Amino acid sequence: MPDTVSIAMLGSGFVADFYMQGLADVNHQQVVVNYSRSAKRARDFARRWSVPAHSTSLTEVVSRDDIDLFIIALPNLEHLPASLALSARKRHQVCTKPLARNAREAKKMLDAARKSGRMHAYAETEVFAPAVVKARQMMEAGGIGRVLWVRSREAHSGPHSPHFWDVSQTGGGAMNDLACHCIEAARYFFGKEDKVVEVMAWGDNLVHKNKTKGEDNALLVMRFSSGGIGHCELSWTTKGGLDLRNEIHGSEGSLFTDVTRSTPVTGFTSKPAGYVIEKADIDFGWTRPLPEEAFAYGYQAEMRHFVECVRDGGRPRETYEDGYVVNLILDAGYQSMKSKKWVRVDY
């Protein structure tokens, strides 16, 4: 196993920046090349993060034999071709969320990655977030008894990149973008052996009718095989910065996580005071800045875990199988949104 894991970052946008922030505190790794479809973005990203090489040729980067781990931080429509190229070359790979635009694409990625015999990891930050991991530890200690109900909310004022508004490129609107976090949080709290058996969903475009054909607000309810309920609230119209909360209610107690609305810093400034928090709409007046976002959201923990899996030959906590299950649940949710009925999740 390599002493230092050489990494290729496939992507140069928002999530790639967060991955680099997370990797900054991870030992025994080095990002040696960045790929972007845009020469300028690749060049700027490499300069910003002191990456020694950059390229606009995915084939060139994937063909390099000195790379131990490839991180797919590309738009949703690029996940499938990038992953298949990596699997064909038998490369270790990590993919950002959602794994694919739909379950059909996700299954192709999963099957090819399995066939390659190399590591495949699903970069779902929520289940690596320190607050969420601590809540799970308290549950495992028996603190709240049997889990009955999980409520998760992820909301902000809208996507940061233009392609997110195009459902043909992404696979869906706010539910597709945000529910993947909430779904996986619920699976983490209930336990993955407790399968989601059916879902009910609502979605509508309440504000951004001129920007997208997708939903900008959605609700997703999941019924687990134990009878428990997962309740997801998703929004692209919530002002004030990222709203990221979980509630876990059990037979003997409840747990709550809130890393964005309960930050350790509160300020009032009459003038702009710089970056506040992800998706903040203003940077003055009353604000709640969040220090160490990459740590609080789970980017640092997941990147450390994936690097260690490559070094030690371990199995990741989150794999493409988990990403595929999330896509199955999302697909069922969109079916329910259209039919206005409960829809079984067909595994």
Per-residue pLDDT of the chain (347 residues; tens, 9 = 90+): 678 999 999 999 999 999 999 999 899 999 999 999 999 999 999 999 999 999 999 999 999 999 999 999 999 999 999 999 999 999 999 999 999 999 999 999 999 999 999 999 999 999 999 999 999 999 999 999 999 999 999 999 999 889 999 999 999 999 999 999 999 999 999 999 999 999 999 999 999 999 999 999 999 999 999 999 999 999 999 999 999 999 999 999 999 999 999 999 999 999 999 999 999 999 999 999 999 999 999 999 999 999 999 999 999 999 999 999 999 999 999 999 999 999 999 99
Instruction: Report the DSSP beta bridge partners of residue 200.
Output: 221
Say which CATH topology domain 127-292+328-344 has.
Dihydrodipicolinate Reductase; domain 2 (3.30.360)
Residue 168 · residue 227 · CB < 8 Å:
no
Those residues with Cβ within 8 angstroms of residue 193's Cβ, 6 or more apart along the chain or in another chain: none
Residue 291 · residue 264 · CB < 8 Å:
yes
- Alpha-carbon gap, residue 267 to 251, rounded angstroms: 38
Q: Where are the domains of the chain?
A: 5-124+299-316, 127-292+328-344
Q: Which CATH architecture does the domain made up of 5-124+299-316 adopt?
A: 3-Layer(aba) Sandwich (3.40)
- Alpha-carbon gap, residue 73 to 168, rounded angstroms: 18
